[in-house]
Structure 1
């Protein structure tokens, strides 16, 4: 067994496709398949359910995957620790982000990159629950998540200010000049929202219901990129967090605050307390504390 076999297994978990997993690992599909079969033979267990294409993992494969994540995290952490001992910080920081968090994550990445120019970054758009699970299992180094159900004994937490909500619109399509809007005015507009069940959407629904409002959104999506495309096209306005940075880069976009509008829980930067803990996570968490506290 070698570390590459574990990387191949995790890549398959992330892509659910042999060809895409091979491309991500920069090998051919036959090579990836052969190495995974070799891992199965060495362990004496079937890990992958195969048909004409990838059909999922066996029950044994799911259990082995948990160990693969731990071993790969330990492998990467070992090299990061060695670099830290040499006075360097080298490696890949794995950061989980909730969609439409109330802080521009590029502010954090810019800070980390300036302080530690040899760092690389992997970003994962996930729910708060998944971010917490992956932090606990050492699949992520840091997470930007809502703090509704956080066990403060298991995680170090940098709590951010309450996340305000605003209306994002394109001034070429919507003539909104008020410095602040109320929910009644917002409800009368064609709206684009995150999908029902996502945390930020739950906060919006709560704000509307508490005022007796129940507008039908023109568009619902679980992809922030699609929401921005719809706003740029003039199809709708979007409800997004203030200070998210989503109005940057397009001179026609405007983000107007909505009065007394906040998410149900504050956003926070999380890091697991249990060892082993990556020196990358510790250094970047400390830098974020100085920036955001």
Structure 2
């Protein structure tokens, strides 16, 4: 029995198709069929029903599948353990991030790549809720997400940014002269916000629910730059991180929100039990070191 036979069998079982399994394993389809036939002869049982409606597992195939997966996982675990012991990291790390922040993700990934050139890196943008789900599922090793006062269950984190969320308005808006406004001042007024699933929107919805009202969202957009432009055009009150709004002081007034104050926290987050892959653990360690170096400078 060979590992490639088990790998081909698992691929066919999961794809339910010999051609797709061959593409997944980067081999010719006849080679997959031949190796699985050899495995069946060695076990003395057919593992697959081959028919016009696709491929199905036989009863024997159902029994063998978990053991085949376990054998392949054990081999991969042995390779990872040796890589971790020798410091030679290979494989893949997956990183996620929310949009529009000042975290030097490119610098972090470039430094990690220089230290571990054998590791493939992927990066994707998504709302915080989606990223949290991917972290919990193990699809991501590390992500920059927006959170409230508590870290989402099952995750650990390192705070990168913690700043107030302000009401950003055009210079001629009626709230522009105010030194600060209460949350209740926003009741019934047209608000401009990021969509549901983002951390900033979650902070707004939670605070308004506690205050006993539902925010009137007049405009939604996925990028803070769009929110700022809409507010600058007098279309409502944009909820934005203070630093982002202040950087556009020529077109916006950043009015603090008090009673209660809203805060946005960006964190590096990862699974509380740590990424499964050594490369992922190395990336988390480098991200934490970057944050702490920044805090100390």
- TM class, shorter-length: 0.5 to 0.7
Per-residue Cα deviation, 1:51-104 (whole angstroms, up to 9, x for no partner)? xxxxxxxxxxxxxxxx9xxx9xx9xx98xx79x958xx999864323468xxx3
* Structure having the higher Rg: 2
User: For residues 182 and 173 of structure 1, do their structure 2 counterparts lie closer, same or farther at Cα, with a shift above 3 Å needed?
Assistant: closer
The answer on whether the counterparts of 1:95 and 1:141 sit within 8 Å (CA) in structure 2 is yes
Q: Does 1:281 align with 2:267?
A: no
Per-residue Cα deviation, 1:230-282 (whole angstroms, up to 9, x for no partner)? 23433222112334x3553673233322113235x955321234431323332
2:152 pairs, out of 146, 149, 152, with 149
Deviation at 1:199, TM superposition (A): 4.5
Corresponding residue of 2:252: 253
The answer on whether the counterparts of 1:170 and 1:231 sit within 8 Å (CA) in structure 2 is yes
Q: Which runs of 5+ in 1 are unaligned?
A: 7-31, 46-66
User: How many Å separate the matches in 1 of 2:187 and 2:99?
Assistant: 22
The answer on whether the counterparts of 2:268 and 2:287 sit within 8 Å (CA) in structure 1 is no
Per-residue Cα deviation, 1:96-139 (whole angstroms, up to 9, x for no partner)? 23468xxx3x23326526856859772422333x3233224443
Corresponding residue of 1:179: 179
The answer on whether the counterparts of 2:170 and 2:176 sit within 8 Å (CA) in structure 1 is no
User: How many Å separate the matches in 1 of 2:250 and 2:138?
Assistant: 40
User: How many Å separate the matches in 2 of 1:114 and 1:249?
Assistant: 30
Instruction: Give the structure-2-normalised TM-score.
Output: 0.54
Corresponding residue of 1:166: 166
Deviation at 1:191, TM superposition (A): 1.3
List aligned pairs for 1:29-40, cutoff 5 A. 35=23
Corresponding residue of 2:45: none
Partner of 1:218, secondary structure, is: strand
The answer on whether the counterparts of 1:168 and 1:255 sit within 8 Å (CA) in structure 2 is yes
How many pairs are equivalent?
A: 230
The answer on whether the counterparts of 2:112 and 2:286 sit within 8 Å (CA) in structure 1 is no
User: How many Å separate the matches in 1 of 2:253 and 2:93?
Assistant: 32
User: For residues 208 and 126 of structure 1, do their structure 2 counterparts lie closer, same or farther at Cα, with a shift above 3 Å needed?
Assistant: closer
Q: Does 1:268 align with 2:257?
A: no
Higher helix share: 2
Q: Which runs of 5+ in 2 are unaligned?
A: 5-10, 12-19, 37-47, 50-68
User: For residues 284 and 188 of structure 1, do their structure 2 counterparts lie closer, same or farther at Cα, with a shift above 3 Å needed?
Assistant: same
The answer on whether the counterparts of 1:180 and 1:256 sit within 8 Å (CA) in structure 2 is yes
Partner of 1:271, secondary structure, is: strand
User: For residues 268 and 238 of structure 1, do their structure 2 counterparts lie closer, same or farther at Cα, with a shift above 3 Å needed?
Assistant: same
Q: Does 1:207 align with 2:207?
A: yes
Corresponding residue of 1:108: 104
List aligned pairs for 1:82-97, cutoff 5 A. 85=87, 94-97=94-97
